Amino acid sequence: MTARTAEVLRETNETRISVAVNLDGTGRHDMQTGIGFFDHMLDQLARHSLIDIAVGADGDLHIDDHHTVEDTGIVLGQAIAKALGDRRGVTRYASLDLAMDEALTRAAVDISGRPFLVWSVEFPTQKIGTFDTELVREFFQAFAQNAGITLHVDNLAGVNSHHIAETCFKAVARVLRTAVEIDPRQRDAIPSTKGTL
């Protein structure tokens, strides 16, 4: 089986983002976005998906975090899509309820080639430290669109914004881990009656 790895670089007037991924990794992570909380969330995404992820970002943080977070979602999504190739052999579907203290979040994914995000998450605060909580959705919107996946994220319980955000990243990580894994019963087949994803 060929290596399911990819590197993507994207440069605009607002950001320069580089991402490297290995879908068959061990969750190694090296996040350098300049945004501490976001790096922490990306660490969780790598660690719990078992996807090796390295992110280097140089963004216009003197304005705010928005461009860097959104563009990281774009490039990470592109890298995942590139590493998936024709998506042959993937398990494709996964869903999970993930608990962390008082917070509970459900995530479901279809590695479908059809990008869509359904987001049912509300944060009790506008910020986690200096990080705008609305950027969590912006990241996942950009990620789902560019990875070519259908992603549902529903927060079912929680009063602490940090815990809610962390359950979102961890739940998505766990469903990605399952969905991108090779299904040994159909490792040479594309998991669709259409014959393509």
Rounded CA gap, 195 and 87, in Å?
11
What burial letters (b/e) apply to 170-191, b meaning 16+ CB within 10 Å? bbbbbbbbbbbbbeeeeeeebb
Sign of CA dihedral 166, 17, 182, 154: positive
**pLDDT (tens place) for every residue of the chain, 197 residues total:** 689 999 999 999 999 999 999 999 999 999 999 999 999 999 999 999 999 999 999 999 999 999 999 999 999 999 999 999 999 999 999 999 999 999 999 999 999 999 999 999 999 999 999 999 999 999 999 999 999 999 999 999 999 999 999 999 999 999 999 999 999 999 999 999 999 99
- The secondary structure of 99-110 as a DSSP string is EETTEEEEEEEE
User: What contacts 66, CB < 8 A, 6 or more positions away?
Assistant: 132, 135, 138
H-type helices in 1-65, by residue range? 36-49
For the chain, list the domains and their CATH numbers: 5-180 (3.30.230.40)
- Give the predicted TM-score (pTM) of the model: 0.97
Q: Which residues pair with 10 in a beta bridge?
A: 17
CA distances from 68 to 111, 135, 177 (A): 25, 10, 25
